[in-house]
Amino acid sequence: MVNFIWAFMAIIGIVYAMFNGTMEEVNKALFESADEAVTLSIGLISILVFWLGIMKVAEKAGILRVLTKMFRPLVVKLFPDIPKDHPAMGYILSNFTANIFGLGNAATPMGIKAMEQMKELSGTDTASRSMITFLAINTSSLTIIPTTVIAIRMQYESISPTEIVGTTIIATLISSLSALIIDRLFYYSSLRRK
């Protein structure tokens, strides 16, 4: 549906430019935007590859295991329906760790695996309590170091590309706590209705 909306908006813009006599400006903007998008993508790929390499080094050095052990008690409390040694726990912890470092692209496959494991565990096509909680936390933007945003700010020659880290931490705390509170409120209100 979104693709149709974007296509419709692009067609209207082009038709309007044809009748308005500004087609030359539209063509110029299209080619400049395409050039800028390619440049930005290449810059982002290099940053993503760097951070994925750092994550691999952290994994080999055992740092991710330490982070996983630190977060495990919290994650076990957030997802009481999942057994402690179930594979879904490992995927959830890996997803959270990658998201914390701003590696949403690396976190996505682990999040999908976590959802698949939770679906197997529930045995139904209906979203379980754990699946809803996991989705709420992921949607709330669980990021402490926004590497992608820092990379974009570096690409556009920001004077201080990392100055957003403090704001990101505050925004993450507020959004994640809000997501958890809303998740629990809806869960307990649904229990009362039964």
3-state secondary structure 146-188: CHHHHHHHHHCCCCCCCCCHHHHHHHHHHHHHHHHHHHHHHHH
DSSP character at residue 127: P
What 3-state class would DSSP assign to 140?
coil
What are 108-143's pLDDT values in tens digits?
888 898 999 999 988 888 888 899 999 999 988 888
Whether pLDDT at 194 is above 70: no
Nearest to 135, CA basis, from 70, 78, 55, 67: 78
Q: How far is CA 129 from CA 70, 90, 134, 142, 183, in A?
A: 23, 18, 9, 19, 9
Residue 79 is which amino acid?
F
**26: nearest Cα among 8, 41, 12:** 12
pLDDT tens digits, residue range 8-62? 888 888 888 888 888 888 788 878 887 787 877 777 777 777 767 776 787 788 7
The residue among 68, 55, 65, 70 whose CA lies nearest residue 104 is: 55
Instruction: Please give the torsion angle defined by the CA atoms of residues 128, 129, 131 and 136, in that order, rounded to the nearest 10 degrees.
Output: 140
- Contact status, residue 150 vs residue 163, Cβ threshold 8 Å: no
| The two structure tokens encoding residue 135 | 């989705």
Model pTM above 0.85? no
Could you tell me which of 21, 169, 12 has the C-alpha nearest to residue 102? 169
Q: Are 107 and 99 in contact (CB under 8 A)?
A: yes
